[in-house]
Every structure is written in structure tokens, then in C-alpha cells.
Amino acid sequence: MTNKINIYKHFLLILSLFVSFMVSAQEPAASSEQKENTSAEHKSEKFNAGELIIDHIIDSHEWHVAGHIAMPLPIILYSSDKGLSVFSSTRLEGGEVYNGYKLIKNDIVAVSADGTTDEPATEKLWDISITKNVASMFVSIILMLWMFISAAKAYKRNPGKAPKGMQSLLEPLIIFVRDDIAKSAIGEKKYKKYLPFLLTVFFFIWINNLMGLVPFLPGGANLTGNIAVGMTLAIIVFLITTFSANWNYWRHIIAMPGVPIGVLVILTPIEIFGMFLKPMVLMIRLFANMLAGHIIALSFFCLIFIFAEMNTGLGYGVAVFSVAFTIFMGMLELLVAFLQAYVFTLLAAMYFGAAIEEHHHEEAHH
């Protein structure tokens, strides 16, 4: 089921990129024909689908609310020359320069007094601002704490009774992660040590996937579609796997039993490479699937404005198809949000289980 959905999403992503490419390829011809009648100011106001999509899927220093309304976020900078600077992102709106800093394509750079970039850079700058993705992560953490603390208090108030409210939502999911993921992949004896992490990563990914589908506050951030978030989670899985691994795990990587030495020369580097490849697969799988979903939905929305610039009636006709398909994609993304959390957690549990598996194959054979 997961593979079918992934193939479907990749096909739609390629289709949306192809449509965008064809439209952009036609733009130079149209502009050359209308060159005499169209001013440079009018050209700058033409709808830019690529810019809209990129602005949505990348991180930023403000949180879009609706229309031209955005919630400013705090900018926190540490400079080797100026020290610590804390101010609102509204100070840098519209390319303004504040305290020697300027916002260029969502990156804060140090500039000279006349507003030009300091080249070559002589000032070391560390940006630790609360961006949209960071703020969304804090919101999801607070939401998770509220959910689990509320459920824990309910269990204490009503011990041995049927779950109600938040309990009835969380308990089936917790049992699912425990029985179908942790126990099956790690084993009955040792799964408890890894269960807290597996539950945390499952709910963290699932909740942030759902929040990314909400087009207004506190949603709208593409947190799980950010490769840095996927990389951090994958590194944590890699570290837990590495430090939990027993001698049997390392022996099968470095020198697999029963394999001739000539074959080990080829097999051992492959096993070592595979050890680092596993977290990369986790990172890319989560990042690519969630990013593709956002790009597909936005691409079909952009078709409305692209065709509306050609003809207003054509724009209305495409709008019916685009909105209907975007709603369908939204329903599909609800399933994908759960599947990606499940797959990431399952693969992590399988890596843990393989790292702590006891050596019993040869004894059972004899």
C-alpha cells in the first residue's frame, strides 16, 4: 500500500513539474510578442508559481496567516563584532536594513552602512532565530506534552476504568506502536528500553505531518519536509543503533562468519557503507515524501492563476479541477501522514532489533 501511494505521488510530482516547465518555457515567447505593449512594471507583477511554491516549502522568519498578513517572529543573532542582537523580523521587512543586517532570500546577512553586502565577509554571524519551522516544532512539542500529561492524569484519576476523551485516542495508537512495531521488531524481552523513543518519534512525525496540512495557524509549516529535521531524527536512530549494538552485530558487519576472506574484502566495505546508508534512507524517505505532497498540491493551485493570466474563463474552468484534485490530495496526505510516521518508526525499531539480536542461528542449526 505504501509503495503504491509513493509511486502515485512521484508520478503526480513529475506531472506537476512538467506542467510548470511547459508554462515557463512558453513565457519568453509571449513576452517577446507583447514586448512593445507591456511595460517592465507589468512584467514584474506577473504570477510566479515557482516563487510561491518555494516560499511555502522553505523556512522563513515570519509565519504566514492569510493574504498579506503574517506573524513576525523573533530574530536572534550573535555576531563576532556586535555580540548578541534580538529584534523582531518586522525590522527587516521589504529589504530594510536594521543594525547592520539585511534579509536576502530568507537569509540574514551583514551589510555595510549603505546597505550593500559586506564582501568578502569579515563578520562571523550565527543565526539562532526562532523561524517558522522552529516555532512549529515548539507548538507540536507543547501539544504532545498536553496530550500525554492529560492522558496520564486521567489514568491516575480513574484506574482500571475504560479510557475516555484523550485516553481513547492515544491508547489504541500506543498499543499499536508497542505490539505491532516495538515487540515484533525488537522482541518481547528488550523492547521496553526503546519504546519511549519509538513512541516519541512516531507521535512527533505524525502530529507535525498533520499540522503541515493545515493552511492556517498553528499549521502551515513544512517541518517534516525540512531535510534538517529528518537528518536529526535519523542521526538519533543511528546513534542509538550504534551504541546498543552487541558483538554479534559488529561481527556480521566487519567479518561475517562463514564467508571466505577473499569475499570479505568486497563484502565488509559494503556492510560498513550500509550501516551509514540506513539513516540516510530514513532521512530521505521522510523528507522527500512530505515535500512532494506540498509541491503537488501547490502546483495544482498555481495552475489556476497561470491559466487565469491567459484567459479569465479558462482560469475558472481549471479552478474546479484544481480545487477538487487538491481536496483529494489532502485526503490522501492524511493517510500518508500516518504511513510516514509508521514507516519511520518501524524501520528504526528494525534497526534496533538487528543491533541487539543474539547469536543463535548456528546453535539452532547444529
For residue range 280-325, what is the model confidence (pLDDT) as tens digits?
Answer: 999 998 988 888 888 887 887 788 888 887 877 877 788 888 888 8
Residue 148 pLDDT > 80: yes
Residue 220, Ramachandran bin (φ over 0: left; ψ between -120 and 50: alpha; else beta): left
| Same domain assignment for residues 160 and 196 | yes
Please tell me the predicted confidence (pLDDT) of residue 25: 38
pTM over cut 0.75 = yes
Q: Give the end of a domain, one of 109, 129, 149.
A: 129
Domain of 90 in residue numbering reads as 74-129
The answer to whether 250 touches 228, Cβ cutoff 8 Å, is no
Helices (H) and strands (E) in the chain, counts: 12, 8
Confidence of residue 67 (pLDDT cuts 50, 70, 90): low
Say whether pLDDT at 49 is over 80. Answer: no
- The answer to whether residues 120 and 213 belong to one domain is no
Of 85, 108, 129, the position where a domain reaches its end is 129
User: Which pLDDT belongs to residue 206?
Assistant: 94
The grid coordinates listed for 161 are: 476504568
Residues 312 and 250 in one domain: yes
Calculate ∠ Cα 112-118-122, nearest 5°: 110
Least confident segment among 145-159, 200-214, 295-309? 295-309
Give 365: exposed, middle or buried? Use CB within 10 Å, 0-12, 13-18, 19+: exposed
Q: Confidence band (pLDDT; 50, 70, 90) for 162?
A: confident
pLDDT at 350: 94
Identify whether 279 is part of a domain. yes
Is 140 within a domain?
yes
Residue that finishes a domain, picked among 129, 144, 171 = 129
> Where is pLDDT greater, at 302 or 132?
132
Top-confidence range, 19-23, 51-55, 121-125: 51-55
- For the segment 96-100, the average pLDDT, to the nearest whole number, is 84
Rounded average pLDDT over 134-152: 92
Cβ neighbors of 118 (< 8 A, separation 6 or more) are 109, 110, 111, 112
pLDDT attached to residue 204:
95
- pLDDT for residue 26 is more than 90: no
Q: Evaluate if residue 65 carries a pLDDT over 80.
A: no
State the amino acid at position 317 in one-letter form: G
**Nearest by Cα to 178 from 165, 163, 168, 188:** 188
In a domain, 63, yes or no: no
Please, how many CA atoms are within 13 Å of residue 38, restricted to the half-sphere of its CB? 13
Distance of CA 196 to the CA centre of its chain: 22
Residue 22 lies in a domain: no
139 and 125 part of one domain = no
Q: Are residues 94 and 163 in the same domain?
A: no
Element (H, E) at 66: strand 62-66
Is 40 inside a domain boundary? no
- If asked whether residues 256 and 123 sit together in one domain, one would say no
Average pLDDT, the chain: 79
Residues 202 and 114 in one domain: no
Higher confidence at residue 125 or residue 39? Answer: 125
Q: What is the pLDDT of residue 266?
A: 86
Question: Within a domain: residue 82?
Answer: yes
**95 shares its domain with 191:** no
Cα gap 15→8, rounded to integer Å: 11
168: pLDDT strictly greater than 70: yes
Do 116 and 253 reside in the same domain of the chain?
A: no
Residue 147 lies in a domain: yes
Residues 333 and 281 in one domain: yes
Q: Report the pLDDT value the prediction gives residue 347, as an integer from 0 to 100.
A: 94
Q: What is the mean pLDDT of residues 234-239?
A: 95
Residue at 221 is within a domain = yes
For residue 35, pLDDT beyond 60: no
Same domain, residue pair 120 and 172? no
Alpha carbons 363 and 210: distance in angstroms, whole number: 47
289 shares a domain with 345: yes
Q: How many domains does the chain have?
A: 2
Does residue 16 register a pLDDT over 80?
Answer: no
Q: In what order do the strands lie in the sheet with 101-104?
A: 97-98, 101-104, 107-110
Indicate if the pLDDT at residue 265 is higher than 90.
no
pLDDT of residue 296: 81
